[in-house]
Amino acid sequence: MASRFRIIKTHQIFNFLIPTVKQKCTVYLPQRLINSAYSAPPKREFSRKLIFGATAGAMGIGLGLYSYLSPPESKYLAGIPLAEKADFTRNDNIMDIKPSREVSGPASALGLDLTLYQYQTCPFCCKVRAFLEFYGIPYKVIEVNPVMRQQLKFSKYKKVPILIVQEKESPKSEFLWISAKISTLGTKIKQQQLNDSTVIISILGSLFLDLPSGLDSVLKYYVPMTYKNEDGKEVEEVMNKYFLMFGDNYEKNTETYLKKERQWRKWADNEFVHLISPNIYRTYDEALQAFNYFSEVGEWEKNFSMFERLIVIYVGATAMYFVGKRLKKKYSLKEDVRQSLYDGCKLWMKEIGSKRKFMGGEMPNLADLAMYGILSSFEGCVAFQDLINNTNIGPWYYNVKEAVTNHYGYQKLKI
């Protein structure tokens, strides 16, 4: 019983709220909030200002009470099983972690074994999943615990998504495939860690769509550089991450098309994504509805007592309502944040125009997949319904969804 008594102090709440807001990924925050009630947030020096003064007390009491009442640890996060035990003490073998689930697809003969470290509702992770599903590439998922992040212990890079690619000898025929499978038992398997959603997509895109010359040769083109950003903080980034490396398929006349594709991938990542949180938590009622939706998809009713569930929903909604307001100011959104969201979608649809089905023409391209992935991260929220009702993005969205869920990209793979 003693171990159950874990009061979460107010400053610990800020420790996980503020970095997340800074990381521009707030859609998955509810999960983070919920999980923090199970396990104390990582110890970090507290040096940040208290911005959400008004909610602080209520949240402290709410979460404190909640952590007292809830079981000491859970294997589930919003209904998704967390990856089991991350024990890297014996060796560095990342593959020791048991995946949360496996996703199948027709492109099983790629000779690659992919493992995605992710948060289910993070828009950047949704982007990578949309890409993999569109091309029918099978992968394993390791759902990271957003507070403890013990599943990322092996990595110096601490954000999600991370993709671990294990290269089997890439056989071209069925026969070779079988022999390679047999030989892996004895051979050392090559393993690469890819960081950042856009880098992951560009590397796999180069590899599968044009340059089937092996992962190592593609990786040489995507070297991270260290530099200081506006805040004077050292960051590592692959500068050419929006560029794909082309081999024989490169044609001069596609230059404009490729430029547009890059430009809109970048826009989705750096501009559109900021419109989400202020919109899904626009009013207190909508924040509540969003949390009720998370509760539904995550089957919280099965996992939480009614009392616990209500505390999480009300405390979470209150906190996120204020976070949304702060982000609205930070990114200078319109007074009615919906207008900014509509503007974003209208701009996107205007660029596609009336002659094309997708930005990519007859088939979605990487810009379509990025935008779709980001939108799909809040598909169940009121803000999404409003978008569908008040802009013309619906038909495009559901067309991409059909293409993604039916793996329409599979026939384009060069394997």
Ligand X SMILES: N[C@@H](CCC(=O)N[C@@H](CS)C(=O)NCC(=O)O)C(=O)O
Where on the chain is the footprint of ligand NAG (CB under 6 A)? 74-76, 79, 155-157, 193-195, 219, 224, 299, 302-303, 382, 385-386, 389
User: How many chain residues touch ligand X (CB under 6 A)?
Assistant: 14
What residues contact residue 368 under an 8 Å CB cut-off, 6+ apart? 358, 359, 360, 400
| Helix, strand, or coil (residue 102) | strand
Strand-pair partners of 192: 165
Active site annotation includes 122: yes
Q: Nearer to ligand NAG by C-beta: 156 or 233?
A: 156
Q: Does 23 sit near ligand X (CB under 6 A)?
A: yes
Active site annotation includes 124: yes
Active site annotation includes 126: no
Q: Does 115 sit near ligand X (CB under 6 A)?
A: no
Range in contact with ligand X (rule: CB under 6 A) among 15-23, 279-287, 348-356, 394-402 = 15-23
Which partner in ligand X, ligand NAG, none is near 258 (CB below 5 to 8 A by kind)? none
Binding pattern to ligand X, positions 152-191, x when CB under 6 A?
A: -------xxx------------------------------
The alpha carbon torsion through 342, 343, 349, 353 (nearest 10 deg) reads 140
CB of 257 to ligand NAG, least distance (A): 27
Catalytic residue among 14, 16, 38, 122: 122
Q: Nearer to ligand X by C-beta: 198 or 376?
A: 198
Judge contact between 412 and 362, C-beta under 8 A.
no
Which partner in ligand X, ligand NAG, none is near 25 (CB below 5 to 8 A by kind)? ligand X
* Single-letter amino acid, residue 202: S
Q: Which of 83, 65, 228 is nearest to 146 (CA)?
A: 83
Which partner in ligand NAG, ligand X, none is near 39 (CB below 5 to 8 A by kind)? none
Q: Nearer to ligand NAG by C-beta: 59 or 194?
A: 194
User: Residue 209 carries which DSSP code?
Assistant: I
| Helix, strand, or coil (residue 167) | strand
Q: Which of 393, 400, 399, 398 is nearest to 348 (CA)?
A: 393
Active site annotation includes 119: yes
Which partner in ligand X, ligand NAG, none is near 20 (CB below 5 to 8 A by kind)? ligand X
* Single-letter amino acid, residue 92: D
Q: Nearer to ligand NAG by C-beta: 155 or 166?
A: 155
CB of 406 to ligand NAG, least distance (A): 26
User: Residue 39 carries which DSSP code?
Assistant: S
Cα 206 to chain center, whole Å?
21
Whose tokens are 């899904």? That residue is 280
**Signed CA dihedral, 336, 337, 338, 339: sign only:** positive
What residues contact residue 316 under an 8 Å CB cut-off, 6+ apart? 29, 30, 33, 34, 287, 291
CB of 339 to ligand NAG, least distance (A): 15
For ligand NAG, the nearest residue by Cβ is 156
Catalytic residue among 25, 125, 126, 345: 125
Binding residue for ligand X (CB under 6 A) from 198, 279, 365, 377? 198
Q: Nearer to ligand NAG by C-beta: 76 or 410?
A: 76
Q: Does 366 sit near ligand X (CB under 6 A)?
A: no
Which partner in ligand X, ligand NAG, none is near 163 (CB below 5 to 8 A by kind)? none
Range in contact with ligand X (rule: CB under 6 A) among 6-14, 129-137, 196-204, 221-229 = 196-204
DSSP code string of 235-304? EEEETTTTPPP-STT--GGGHHHHHHHHHHHHHHHHTGGGGHHHHHTSSHHHHHHHHHHHHHHTTHHHHS
Which partner in ligand NAG, ligand X, none is near 75 (CB below 5 to 8 A by kind)? ligand NAG
Q: Classify each residue of 115-141 as buried b or exposed e, where b means 16 or more C-beta atoms within 10 Å of its C-beta.
A: bbbbbbbbbbbbbbbbbbbbbbbbbbb
| Window 24-83: residues binding ligand X (CB under 6 A) | 24-25
- Which residues are part of the catalytic machinery? 119, 122, 124-125
Interacting residue ranges for ligand X, rule: CB under 6 A: 19-20, 23-25, 119, 122, 124, 159-161, 196-198
